[in-house]
């Protein structure tokens, strides 16, 4: 048997966390983009609310304010989910990096053989938790968009006298 076989098995063992590190990185980038888009939408809603406050009150105006308030509440909840999801993904990333380092340590120093598995399991659980949070956030985002579409589609019907002549 070749003398470098233990080195190859050590390298092979380190590849699994590396793949999971890459997956976490991709999820972190896409989730950060989601957070950025959420912040942009909240800023847009704030501008719309400020604009409405300069207009004279009307039925449409009140309905729009109510709708914008509903959207801001939904976006606040989404923001919490995205933040917690990002935190979980960063924890998973850290655990997978720790697993990779501990695999190397076990291979070189032959101590604490349970550490790589522990870090791997912790990283996997954090990754799962982050994914569940992001699934919840996507569902909330879709619900909010659907409610916004319903509001916009029914706005002319609810106040027909306030449409332009």
- Compute how many other C-beta atoms are within 10 angstroms of the C-beta atom of residue 101: 15
Closest C-alpha to 107, from 17, 14, 39: 14
Specify the number of domains making up the chain: 1
- 60, with CB counted inside 10 A (0-12, 13-18, 19+), is middle
Q: What does the pLDDT look like over 96-120, one tens digit per residue?
A: 999 998 888 887 777 778 888 899 9
Please give the average per-residue pLDDT across 10-32, as a whole number.
90
User: Within a domain: residue 125?
Assistant: yes
| pLDDT beyond 50 at 127 | yes
User: Within a domain: residue 3?
Assistant: no
CA distance 85 to 55: 39
User: Within a domain: residue 48?
Assistant: yes
What mean pLDDT is reported for the chain? 86
Q: What does the pLDDT look like over 41-100, one tens digit per residue?
A: 999 999 998 888 888 777 778 888 889 999 999 999 999 999 999 999 999 999 999 999
- 96, with CB counted inside 10 A (0-12, 13-18, 19+), is buried
Instruction: Determine the structural domain holding residue 75 and report its residue range.
Output: 8-155
User: Within a domain: residue 94?
Assistant: yes
Contact 137, 53 (CB under 8 A): no
**Between these two residues, 17 and 126, which has the higher pLDDT value?**
126
DSSP class of residue 2 equals: -
User: Within a domain: residue 95?
Assistant: yes
Torsion of CA 61, 62, 67, 71, to 10 degrees: 90
Please give the average per-residue pLDDT across 128-148, as a whole number.
95
| pLDDT beyond 60 at 34 | yes
User: Within a domain: residue 164?
Assistant: no
Please give the pLDDT value at position 62.
Answer: 84
User: Within a domain: residue 162?
Assistant: no
Please give the pLDDT value at position 1.
Answer: 40
| pLDDT beyond 50 at 164 | no
Our CA angle for 64, 70, 76, nearest 5°, is: 135
């Amino acid at each position: 048997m070749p003398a470098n076989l233990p080195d190859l098995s050590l390298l092979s063992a380190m590849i699994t966390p590396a793949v999971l590190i890459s997956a976490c990185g991709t999820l972190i980038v896409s989730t950060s983009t989601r957070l950025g888009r959420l912040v942009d939408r909240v800023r847009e809603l704030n501008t719309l609310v400020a604009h409405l406050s300069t207009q004279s009150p009307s039925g449409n105006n009140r309905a729009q304010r109510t709708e914008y308030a509903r959207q801001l509440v939904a976006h606040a909840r989404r923001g919490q989910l995205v933040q917690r999801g990002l935190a979980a993904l960063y924890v998973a990333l850290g655990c997978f990096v720790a697993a990779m380092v501990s695999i190397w340590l076990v291979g070189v120093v032959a101590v604490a053989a349970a550490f790589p598995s522990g870090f791997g399991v912790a990283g996997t659980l954090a990754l799962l938790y982050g994914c569940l949070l992001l699934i919840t956030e996507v569902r909330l985002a879709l619900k909010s968009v659907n409610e916004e579409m319903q509001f916009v589609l029914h706005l002319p019907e609810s106040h027909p006298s306030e449409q332009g002549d």
